Amino acid sequence: MSDDAFTPRPEHRFTFGLWTVGNRGRDPFGHEVRPPLDPVESVRRLADLGAYGVNFHDSDLVPDGASPSEREAIVKRFRRALDETGMKVPMATTNLFSNPVFKDGAFTANDPAVRRYALAKTMDAIDLGVELGATVYVCWGGREGVECDAAKDVRAALDRYAEAVNALCGYVRDRGYDVRLALEPKPNEPRGDIFLPTVGHMLAFIERLERPEMVGVNPEFAHETMSGLSFHHAVAQCLWAGKLFHIDLNAQRAGKFDQDFRFGSEGVRDAFYTVKLLEDAAWDGMRHFDAHAYRTEDADGVWDFARGCMRTYLVLADKARRFASDAEIQEALRAARADGLHQPTVPAGGLDSIRREQFDLDALGAQGYGNERLDQLVTELLLGVR
Amino acid sequence: MSDDAFTPRPEHRFTFGLWTVGNRGRDPFGHEVRPPLDPVESVRRLADLGAYGVNFHDSDLVPDGASPSEREAIVKRFRRALDETGMKVPMATTNLFSNPVFKDGAFTANDPAVRRYALAKTMDAIDLGVELGATVYVCWGGREGVECDAAKDVRAALDRYAEAVNALCGYVRDRGYDVRLALEPKPNEPRGDIFLPTVGHMLAFIERLERPEMVGVNPEFAHETMSGLSFHHAVAQCLWAGKLFHIDLNAQRAGKFDQDFRFGSEGVRDAFYTVKLLEDAAWDGMRHFDAHAYRTEDADGVWDFARGCMRTYLVLADKARRFASDAEIQEALRAARADGLHQPTVPAGGLDSIRREQFDLDALGAQGYGNERLDQLVTELLLGVR
Amino acid sequence: MSDDAFTPRPEHRFTFGLWTVGNRGRDPFGHEVRPPLDPVESVRRLADLGAYGVNFHDSDLVPDGASPSEREAIVKRFRRALDETGMKVPMATTNLFSNPVFKDGAFTANDPAVRRYALAKTMDAIDLGVELGATVYVCWGGREGVECDAAKDVRAALDRYAEAVNALCGYVRDRGYDVRLALEPKPNEPRGDIFLPTVGHMLAFIERLERPEMVGVNPEFAHETMSGLSFHHAVAQCLWAGKLFHIDLNAQRAGKFDQDFRFGSEGVRDAFYTVKLLEDAAWDGMRHFDAHAYRTEDADGVWDFARGCMRTYLVLADKARRFASDAEIQEALRAARADGLHQPTVPAGGLDSIRREQFDLDALGAQGYGNERLDQLVTELLLGVR
Amino acid sequence: MSDDAFTPRPEHRFTFGLWTVGNRGRDPFGHEVRPPLDPVESVRRLADLGAYGVNFHDSDLVPDGASPSEREAIVKRFRRALDETGMKVPMATTNLFSNPVFKDGAFTANDPAVRRYALAKTMDAIDLGVELGATVYVCWGGREGVECDAAKDVRAALDRYAEAVNALCGYVRDRGYDVRLALEPKPNEPRGDIFLPTVGHMLAFIERLERPEMVGVNPEFAHETMSGLSFHHAVAQCLWAGKLFHIDLNAQRAGKFDQDFRFGSEGVRDAFYTVKLLEDAAWDGMRHFDAHAYRTEDADGVWDFARGCMRTYLVLADKARRFASDAEIQEALRAARADGLHQPTVPAGGLDSIRREQFDLDALGAQGYGNERLDQLVTELLLGVR
């Protein structure tokens, strides 16, 4: 696994959350299997593996309830590790889900005091992220949902959600921070239903905010796939709307619990089209992995996991390049009339000219699009036999 | 089943598509089991059952390829049935999916000629709908999708989709029609993946149109449920965004083929909360059923089906009223702090005052929300034992 | 909620696991929200609510690593609570999933030492269960699965699984215990895929054991529903095969994480048909609830949860009786030709007579089965409006 | 796509149903897009592509209602094509789903006359299959299910299902046919729920038949995957039980309508492990493709589709061989202790020796299984970069 072409380097802009390599393997039915991992150790190991940077929840770095001096010491030591390794912190986020205080929600908790605490904790976390250089702030509303639908008026919940995001945008602006917010949707787990369950619902929500230009989406492979939806279609809509502010790459099987598997280990076709989309669009954001090692793994397995995420991305990016230069694939695209989708539909003569047009429906209905051949060519490209 | 309280009447604003009662029971593995149903017969029978009106695809009423004089005769005869029964046509739509010409899409077909034909057919259908009084025009892009992802650039597809809807809005405006467009999302079937797969993706898409104020959503119970999402949450987001222009009521099990079962026959809790939402909001639109009788049924079963959809809606609406007047439920809502969600989060003192606030996290984390009791009370309300 | 007709009493044979009411609300993203619950307190509270008994995992009652004298003291105190309340322990089971030692499996772990430990722990747990009166022993193989499919030869895993169950049957027999084993399937979570994922796969597996007569199934509503399958069909197949040895009642939405919600709170139709099936069959086993209170709840909510499970069962059992005595429903069953399914297909003349028979396919194809009407009648029975 | 290594030849034992290449692209929302395909043409084209044989439903070859002389002419012409090409007919089946007569079921229809007709049609179809050389008879009970659960007593339905299969086994025996039956499970579609929904439920059912040795399973990739279950786990259980009598290869996304896509076009990992399993087990049955071309395709696309199914199988079979000879993968398997699963668990000393054993739980809990590395190696094997 040492082929140079697939060796990660900082210019590939791969990032990991401290919580990803630091995941200790706890699950709903089992205890932790791995010892705690020092954030500084994570920085050093990821730097060695060729990553660009790390991201964190406030509580991943500074334990809740730490004193100002403890916080300072932790940040100083962490910053030193960043400086020594050249690693960056492009994104930060807040843990608004672990503490029992959030059991009924954070920004949409029924109790206003909980909502105020969630805002206070988030402002602190934004400060911490900015201090370490983050320019993207991710909000995952994991507890913003409900099991007993009677307990929440959904429209009121959306009002409160919008109020919170508006307030945070105002905070960022007032402080003069160079930070954009990226909201992360998820359909369910840990709540029975989470509000704004898909990339689409989140994109729509953003349009009703006071400063929509400051807010985008952080789509996650696993979350969109849990609902059986195409992840790369969702990412494409984000790009189309100018709203891809961050991305969470991992793997997931549809209709299952949130798996957060190693990127590319499931759903490799959707992974390929996602990589192809990001590379074709020359998207300038981070390739962030929000995943963790299987619970079967010891500490070494964690680094195998991290290495695998990045290698698979590079392998798929290479295949995206081959797709573009493969003459047979390009010919099949022409047979599928793929270029026709880039032409405007309405001719110079306008709608009137369309109404006068005579359509040969039999001929149009009879033509084939050669999609079986095209899809097989992509399959063989993916399987490495062309 | 003759209880007066649950007898449908026109003021309940129940509508059915001609294609729903006219469904002949064909499915992917079986032939038609019921004879064709004359649209005029459908109008008369539905009027007898207490419906408010009927909706149709162009091809449901006027067969594709009918001559102008045939069209005129059909429309005249149909209008007479409407006049005699007092039935309305509040909505119309276009069949852009049955003909082989649409096999690669309609507004997002790769072939521009197919896209032009789809626009021409839609303009004709809008004319027909307006002629019969429709003020809502539904677009379901059932073929706007893909199996072989390489064949379609999703961003180009969204460009073409937007171009088509923009063109239709222009057409409606130029003609001076009093018509709004309602776009209907669906995640898959008949395509492997359909573009704009959920209510959320569609709401977001609308915001990027030229005249978003003319365009809303037609959410369908079955379609949102296929992805395992909460339908009433989606409807609530539509209402919140001012975008509920129409609604398709039916029943569906998550993660299965598009079932279009009788309203309330599956997912009765989500059905209840949907009805409660529409009634609480005093939503002024049609209660449209986009469903069909099981394939086991003969012609009589079709009318049992139609009667059942309406009765169940009325039963659930009655339960929504009881919910509001049930003292124990109202007390449980207080215990769940439901009212707190309607209060603003940020106090008069602004964010600064929040940062100075001392939060008693242990107390906030320890408090219970009584959701088990509240949910059980709703369960018993639904089961009719309170 | 004090209506006498729906008040649980011991003769209803309701049981709860200590781990159900004792669930502390931990989930993959959040810490415990409720304090530990003393098993003796659970016994007393459940007795007060009208339950028949409690079940437990070994570790629920006696902490792993307890000394013999500690074990003795715990068991003595627990038995006293049982004696004082009249509560029974009809079932026991083993925790083979929480300890990191089981991360690669228990009976199907790749490491033989882990498998031996799993057997040793299970024998101890059987002893404990028998000591307290249990006659059913449940095996849930929550860790018997895999994420990286290359790591396990599935046929070898089934060999080891069968070896373990065979060994335990031998142990029970050698000891002369009056105990039957009930195996519990689950499709996934915590493993990516769990071996023997449905009731069907488990029933089939049992037939290949050395003493299949000693082994049956413990179907769980949530587990079968996670795969989108009909729970009551699965229970019916267990009954049909004489293999319903225990049952786990709760609620679940298809295609989601393992929710273990209050019985009847989701999927009420499938819950109704399940209750109807158990009651119609006069099944003599326990009505066990393997569920837990929402994480929003404090200690009081736990008992609301327990009460709700039992009440809903009794409400549905009452509806099952009404189904049998409702003249219109019975008439609709005749219209659906439901009785015909109980008649043998092959006539006295044998297959030859069938081949000579002239079938009027048009008439047979035209007949209706009145299932819309029948289903609507059941819907109205469930909604309490008939 | 002409690489010799992946060119199908008859010895690879690839078969297709006449209904697969003959699929005309009709779906629930659209009309046929391809002209009818002459079965003789299918035989010739598939022979040219390197297939071993074809399979059929009775009605695929001989239209329902054909006279004896028409049947004879059709069979004679078909047999000639087989003889000229060397193609075989290893399997046959019956269409018990298209005709309206089966709308309430075939072997489990409530009306005994329908059930008798289903038996008569099946006996005729077995005769036809045997006449053309088939030794496997597949039963797919696509209509054996229900939407309105009240209409069917599931246990009675299983009685009737068993009666029918028992009768057919008797028929085969009485006639002295060398035929085995393979039952094919499916969870839903076209029925709301189909009886015996998974490979597991079907395997269990078979054990209750009169002559279980004559009956096995025909697992289908799409059907098991619709429920989100691992197909190769299901196939492994069939092999483990000696019940893999036939197999249907295709592709499917979990939680969606029955897609029947080209083999390997979705779920390539599960496809790989399935091929590896069949090849490792040297399974001697047919590699049958029950799939069809996308509706976007014209007649040429159908043969691209057929060619792609076979090529992908051969590519995956080649990877299965590489898996076995890849030193690094083999080393990773040792690190995962994969061999340990093949050793018996119970030592020579029996269970008693296990109970006396001292287990070092900390050490056992701490050991890692290297599954991330192993899985990444397989991923890279699949992607063709090792």
Asked if A371 contacts D297 with a C-beta cutoff of 8 angstroms, the reply is: yes
Could you report the per-residue pLDDT of A294-336, keeping only the tens digit for each?
Answer: 999 999 999 999 999 999 999 999 999 999 999 999 999 999 9
Place of tokens 């290479």: A318
> Which of B262, D65, D298, A294 has its CA nearest to residue C146?
A294
**Nearest CA to CA, how far is C367 from chain D (Å)?**
8
Percent of chain C with pLDDT over 90: 98
CA–CA distance, D339 with D336 (Å, rounded to integer)? 8
**Chain B residues inside the 8 Å CB shell of D28:** 26-28, 189-190, 257-258
Check B32 against D100: CB less than 8 A apart: yes
Check A151 against B232: CB less than 8 A apart: no
**Chain A residues inside the 8 Å CB shell of C97:** 29-30
CA–CA distance, B285 with B262 (Å, rounded to integer)? 20
Asked if B183 contacts B205 with a C-beta cutoff of 8 angstroms, the reply is: yes
Question: For residue C231, what is the enclosing H or E element?
Answer: helix C231-240
Helix (H, G, I), strand (E, B) or coil at B203: helix
Best of C95, C97, C154 to disrupt the D interface (most D CBs within 10 Å) is: C154
**Nearest CA to CA, how far is B257 from chain D (Å)?**
4
> 10 Å Cβ neighbour count for A71?
16
Tokens of B257: 């083929």
Write phi, then psi, for D228 (nearest 5 degrees): 75, 15
Per-residue model confidence (pLDDT) at position A3: 56
CA–CA distance, C331 with C338 (Å, rounded to integer)? 10
CA–CA distance, B318 with B331 (Å, rounded to integer)? 20
Helix (H, G, I), strand (E, B) or coil at C29: coil
Helix (H, G, I), strand (E, B) or coil at D136: strand
Check C154 against D232: CB less than 8 A apart: yes
pTM over 0.95: yes
CA–CA distance, D206 with D184 (Å, rounded to integer)? 11
Q: For this structure, is B57 an active site residue?
A: yes
> Which of C38, C53, C61 has its CA nearest to residue C299?
C38
Could you report the per-residue pLDDT of A18-63, keeping only the tens digit for each?
Answer: 999 999 999 999 999 999 999 999 999 999 999 999 999 999 999 9
Identify the weakest region by mean pLDDT among B149-153, C65-69, D212-216.
C65-69
- Measured between CB atoms, which of B264, B365, B373 is closest to C379? B264
**Nearest CA to CA, how far is B230 from chain C (Å)?**
11
Catalytic residue, chosen from B60, B104, B248, B270, is B60
> 10 Å Cβ neighbour count for B352?
12
E strand residue ranges, D91-152: 91-93, 136-140, 145-146
Q: Tell me how many residue pairs between chain A and chain C have CB atoms under 8 A apart.
A: 109
Check B100 against D188: CB less than 8 A apart: no
**Nearest CA to CA, how far is A278 from chain B (Å)?**
12
**Nearest CA to CA, how far is A158 from chain B (Å)?**
8
pLDDT at residue B41 above 80?
A: yes
Could you report the per-residue pLDDT of D305-336, keeping only the tens digit for each?
Answer: 999 999 999 999 999 999 999 999 999 999 99
What distance lies between CA A172 and its chain's CA centroid?
22
Residue B347, preceding peptide bond in cis (omega within 30° of 0): no
Tokens of B202: 């569609």
Asked if A287 contacts A12 with a C-beta cutoff of 8 angstroms, the reply is: yes
Helix (H, G, I), strand (E, B) or coil at B261: strand
Percent of chain D with pLDDT over 90: 98
Exposure class string for A152-189: b at 16+ Cβ within 10 A, else e: bbbbbbbbbbbbbbbbbbbbbeeeebebbbbbbbbbbb
**Nearest CA to CA, how far is B29 from chain D (Å)?**
6
C32 φ/ψ sector (left φ>0, alpha ψ -120 to 50, else beta): beta
Distance from the first to the final alpha carbon of chain D: 21
E strand residue ranges, chain B: 14-17, 53-57, 91-93, 136-140, 145-146, 180-184, 193-194, 215-217, 248-249, 287-289
- What confidence category does residue C284 fall into, taking pLDDT thresholds of 50, 70 and 90? very high
Per-residue model confidence (pLDDT) at position D4: 77
Check D354 against C227: CB less than 8 A apart: no
pLDDT at residue B343 above 70?
A: yes
For chain D, the chains sharing at least 3 beta-carbon pairs closer than 8 angstroms are A, B, C
CA–CA distance, B301 with B147 (Å, rounded to integer)? 36
CA–CA distance, A305 with A298 (Å, rounded to integer)? 11
**Chain D residues inside the 8 Å CB shell of C323:** 150
Check D293 against A372: CB less than 8 A apart: yes
- What confidence category does residue A4 fall into, taking pLDDT thresholds of 50, 70 and 90? confident
Could you report the per-residue pLDDT of C190-249, keeping only the tens digit for each?
Answer: 999 999 999 999 999 999 999 999 999 999 999 999 999 999 999 999 999 999 999 999
Question: Across all residues in chain D, what is the average pLDDT?
Answer: 97
Per-residue model confidence (pLDDT) at position B4: 77
Per-residue model confidence (pLDDT) at position D171: 98
Tokens of B123: 């303009």
Percent of chain C with pLDDT over 70: 99
Q: For this structure, is D57 an active site residue?
A: yes
Best of C345, C374, C379, C381 to disrupt the D interface (most D CBs within 10 Å) is: C345
3-state secondary structure chain A: CCCHHHCCCHHHCEEEEHHHHCCCCCECCECCCCCCCCHHHHHHHHHHHCCCEEEEEHHHHCCCCCCHHHHHHHHHHHHHHHHHHCCECCEEECCCCCCHHHCCCCCCCCCHHHHHHHHHHHHHHHHHHHHCCCCEEEEECCCCEECCHHHCCHHHHHHHHHHHHHHHHHHHHHHCCCCEEEEECCCCCCCCEECCCCHHHHHHHHCCCCCHHHEEECCEHHHHHHCCCCHHHHHHHHHHCCCECCCEECECCCCCCCCCECCCCCCHHHHHHHHHHHHHCCCCCCEEECCCCCCCCCHHHHHHHHHHHHHHHHHHHHHHHHHHHCHHHHHHHHHCCHHHHHCCCCCCCHHHHHHHCCCCHHHHHHCCCCHHHHHHHHHHHHCCCC
Q: What one-character DSSP code corresponds to residue C88?
A: B
Check C304 against B265: CB less than 8 A apart: no
Check D300 against A380: CB less than 8 A apart: no
Tokens of C274: 């399940």
- What confidence category does residue B3 fall into, taking pLDDT thresholds of 50, 70 and 90? low
Q: Tell me how many residue pairs between chain C and chain D have CB atoms under 8 A apart.
A: 325
> Which of B180, B160, B163 has its CA nearest to residue B172?
B180
**Nearest CA to CA, how far is B356 from chain C (Å)?**
26
Asked if C294 contacts C301 with a C-beta cutoff of 8 angstroms, the reply is: yes
Check C366 against B297: CB less than 8 A apart: no
- What confidence category does residue C369 fall into, taking pLDDT thresholds of 50, 70 and 90? very high
E strand residue ranges, chain C: 14-17, 53-57, 91-93, 136-140, 145-146, 180-184, 193-194, 215-217, 248-249, 287-289
Instruction: Read off the pLDDT of each residue in D46-65 and give the average, rounded to a whole number.
Output: 96
Interface residues of chain D, partner chain B, Cβ below 8 Å: 25-33, 97-100, 102-104, 142-143, 147-148, 151, 188-190, 192, 228, 253-259, 261, 294-296
pLDDT at residue D363 above 50?
A: yes
- Measured between CB atoms, which of A31, A188, A294 is closest to C99? A31
Place of tokens 């809790």: B269
Give whole-number Cα distances, B235 to B55, B199, B249, B270, C340, in Å.
21, 8, 11, 11, 43
Contacts of C360 (CB under 8 A, 6+ apart): none
Asked if A77 contacts B339 with a C-beta cutoff of 8 angstroms, the reply is: no
Strand pairing partners for D300? Answer: none
Check C384 against B385: CB less than 8 A apart: yes
Q: Tell me how many residue pairs between chain B and chain D have CB atoms under 8 A apart.
A: 109
Best of D119, D144, D149 to disrupt the C interface (most C CBs within 10 Å) is: D149
Tokens of C179: 């105990």
Catalytic residue, chosen from A58, A60, A104, A290, is A60
Catalytic residue, chosen from D3, D12, D27, D60, is D60
- Measured between CB atoms, which of C188, C240, C338 is closest to D151? C338
Instruction: Read off the pLDDT of each residue in B300-329 and give the average, rounded to a whole number.
Output: 98
Write phi, then psi, for C63 (nearest 5 degrees): -55, 145
**Nearest CA to CA, how far is D293 from chain A (Å)?**
7
pLDDT at residue D161 above 80?
A: yes
- Measured between CB atoms, which of C196, C336, C340 is closest to D112? C340
Place of tokens 């909510």: C301
CA–CA distance, C171 with D352 (Å, rounded to integer)? 10
pLDDT at residue C294 above 90?
A: yes
Instruction: Read off the pLDDT of each residue in D168-184 and give the average, rounded to a whole number.
Output: 98
Could you report the per-residue pLDDT of B43-72, keeping only the tens digit for each?
Answer: 999 999 999 999 999 999 999 889 999 999
Asked if C382 contacts C269 with a C-beta cutoff of 8 angstroms, the reply is: yes
Could you report the per-residue pLDDT of A190-218, keeping only the tens digit for each?
Answer: 999 999 999 999 999 999 999 999 999 99
Tokens of D294: 């996308």
Write phi, then psi, for D204 (nearest 5 degrees): -65, -40
- What confidence category does residue A342 fall into, taking pLDDT thresholds of 50, 70 and 90? very high
CA–CA distance, A188 with A190 (Å, rounded to integer)? 6
- Measured between CB atoms, which of B31, B98, B147 is closest to D29? B98
Contacts of C97 (CB under 8 A, 6+ apart): A29, A30, C106, C140, C142, C143, C190
Tokens of D17: 């149903």
pLDDT at residue D168 above 70?
A: yes
pLDDT at residue A2 above 60?
A: no
Best of D23, D26, D29, D292 to disrupt the B interface (most B CBs within 10 Å) is: D29
CA–CA distance, C196 with C186 (Å, rounded to integer)? 7
Question: Across all residues in chain C, what is the average pLDDT?
Answer: 97
pLDDT at residue D3 above 90?
A: no
Could you report the per-residue pLDDT of B243-267, keeping only the tens digit for each?
Answer: 999 999 999 999 999 999 999 999 9
Tokens of A382: 């993916």
Best of B148, B329, B334 to disrupt the A interface (most A CBs within 10 Å) is: B148
pLDDT at residue D250 above 80?
A: yes
Could you report the per-residue pLDDT of C79-131, keeping only the tens digit for each?
Answer: 999 999 999 999 999 999 999 999 999 999 999 999 999 999 999 999 999 99
Interface residues of chain B, partner chain D, Cβ below 8 Å: 25-33, 97-100, 102-104, 142-143, 147-148, 151, 188-190, 192, 228, 253-259, 261, 294-296
Tokens of D239: 């092999």
For chain B, the chains sharing at least 3 beta-carbon pairs closer than 8 angstroms are A, C, D
Helix (H, G, I), strand (E, B) or coil at C60: helix
Per-residue model confidence (pLDDT) at position B46: 98
CA–CA distance, B153 with B110 (Å, rounded to integer)? 10
Check A371 against D33: CB less than 8 A apart: no
> Which of D64, A164, A331, B373 has its CA nearest to residue C308?
B373
Could you report the per-residue pLDDT of C314-343, keeping only the tens digit for each?
Answer: 999 999 999 999 999 999 999 999 999 999
Please give the radius of gyration of chain A, using alpha carbons only, rounded to the nearest integer. 23
> Which of A158, A312, B294 has its CA nearest to residue D380?
A312
pLDDT at residue A383 above 80?
A: yes
The residue of chain B nearest to residue C379, with distances taken between CA atoms, is B265
